[in-house]
Amino acid sequence: MNHVRPILQTILAIVFAFLVAAIFILLHRSSPFEVYGALYQYGLGSWFSFSNTLNAAFPLILTGLSASIAFMSGVVNLGQHGQFLWGALVCAVLGVYLRLPSWLAVPLLAILGGLAGAAWAGLAAFFKRRYRMDEFISTLMLNFLAEYMTLYLATYPFLDPKAYVPATRLIRPEYFMTGVFGVNVAFFVAFFMVFLCWWFAWRTWQGYEARMMGYNKLFATVGGCDVESDTTLILLFSGFLSGLAGALLILNGTQHRFTKGIGANFGWDGVMIAIMANNGVFQTFFYALFMGFLKNGAVGMEFETSVPSEFVMFLQSIIVLTLVGTRSGIASLTDWLRAKRELGKLVK
């Protein structure tokens, strides 16, 4: 019963969110049936669309996990964007110059990308430990540094002189990761990381300490947790996840090189997904898929119904906002109703 209620609440919230967005579509003088038809057709309608949705979701799953793991431990890592970029850049540059057999190189590049992300988050962890600097501000500011440093590296030292935008060279073709029936291998890696995160949070000593820290840091300290080491560990781990997302996007995305703006909005979408998912690991997976579906279907929406892209972004925000609002609204309403019923039984 405990598992069924949140699922029902989520379904209800999604339905309600689409209804609210439908009002705005009507105000825009388009037909909601047509718009949602296109969303379905391009997001889920065929195996081709469905596999594209899964491929669009894999970076979101990883950045979402990165944010979830951090937030569930009370560590405010907002540096997903920067960690993602460093993971992508290190992977893209090494992918050009590294000469190894591909079975060895591909996992190595992915892990090195992850470690680059972890190192960038590690800077924030170092500042936290050494100078008690709040990771909230340091990770946030490190995003800007990462953005411009990676852009500089891609525009000057590692520039592909034949590219039309600031970009590094293509990585060696034998390092391109493949797919299974159109689904990228990176998606399965992300899927595996979901289980790894679950195992870490619920089955390990450190994961337990981290969760306790998330509930109440002072209590965790009094209870004997090494809060400082745990915070460092969580920052490194969540940095690793973001960096891995960046590296996999290079290895198994569509670009196979670091280009200006490759980070898109993956980092911030990850933060949003973690908040939508209440920092739950499996919920993060679900909402990342949902965001991937919205993202992939939105292009079709824009295309079939000729609504401008700005309106599509507006609709996405409406859906996310209503969903989160409705879900917590329903949760508090049902809690209130139950409390009232229990009270009624007692008073009679």
Partner 1 sequence: MKKFLFLVVLLLSTLLLAKPSRVAYVINGSLGDQSFYDSGYAGIKKLEEDFKVQTRVIECNFDPSLYYPSLVTAAQWADVIFVISYGFEEELKQVAMKFPNKIWVNIDTVVQDEKGIISSVDYREEEGAFLAGVVAAMVTTMTDLAGINPQKIIGAVGGDDDIVIRSFVYGYEQGAKYIDPEVQVKVIYVGTWDDPAKGKQAALQLYAEGADVVFQIAALTGFGVLQAAKEVGKYAIGVDSNQNPLVPGRVITSDLKEVGKSIYTVFKMILDGTFERGKVYSFGVKEGMVGLAIDEYTRKILPESVIEKIIDIQNKVASGEIKVEPYRP
Note the residues at the interface with partner 1 (CB under 8 A).
Answer: 42, 52, 56, 59, 151, 155, 161-167, 170, 254-257, 259-262, 264-266, 295-296, 299-300, 302-304, 306, 308-309
The CB-of-57 to partner 1 minimum distance in angstroms stands at 11
Contacts of 59 (CB under 8 A, 6+ apart): 84, 190, 245, 246, 248, 249, 253, 266
CA–CA dist 119, 146 (Å, integer) = 12
Q: Which is nearer to partner 1, 223 or 308 (CB)?
A: 308
CA–CA dist 137, 343 (Å, integer) = 45
Q: Which is nearer to partner 1, 161 or 224 (CB)?
A: 161
Q: Which is nearer to partner 1, 64 or 74 (CB)?
A: 64
The CB-of-117 to partner 1 minimum distance in angstroms stands at 18
The CB-of-210 to partner 1 minimum distance in angstroms stands at 30
The CB-of-42 to partner 1 minimum distance in angstroms stands at 6
The CB-of-186 to partner 1 minimum distance in angstroms stands at 14
The CB-of-259 to partner 1 minimum distance in angstroms stands at 5
Q: Specify whether the CB–CB gap between 259 and 167 falls below 8 A.
A: yes
Residue with tokens 């119904």: 305
The CB-of-280 to partner 1 minimum distance in angstroms stands at 25
What letter does residue 170 receive in the DSSP assignment?
A: P
Answer left, alpha or beta for residue 279, where phi above 0 means left and psi between -120 and 50 means alpha.
Answer: left
Amino acid found at 219 = F
Amino acid found at 267 = G
Q: Which is nearer to partner 1, 123 or 151 (CB)?
A: 151
- Indicate the SS3 state at residue 183: strand
CA–CA dist 55, 52 (Å, integer) = 5
Q: Which is nearer to partner 1, 74 or 263 (CB)?
A: 263
E-strand ranges in the chain read: 179-180, 183-184
Q: Which is nearer to partner 1, 9 or 184 (CB)?
A: 184
The CB-of-234 to partner 1 minimum distance in angstroms stands at 27
Among residues 223, 180, 179, 186, which one has the least CA distance to residue 205? 223
Q: Which is nearer to partner 1, 28 or 260 (CB)?
A: 260
Please give the structure tokens belonging to residue 60. 């979101």
Please give the structure tokens belonging to residue 344. 């009624």
Residue with tokens 């969303």: 39
Q: Which is nearer to partner 1, 128 or 257 (CB)?
A: 257
The CB-of-114 to partner 1 minimum distance in angstroms stands at 20
Q: Which is nearer to partner 1, 59 or 207 (CB)?
A: 59
Among residues 103, 85, 119, 130, which one has the least CA distance to residue 228? 130
What letter does residue 157 receive in the DSSP assignment?
A: T
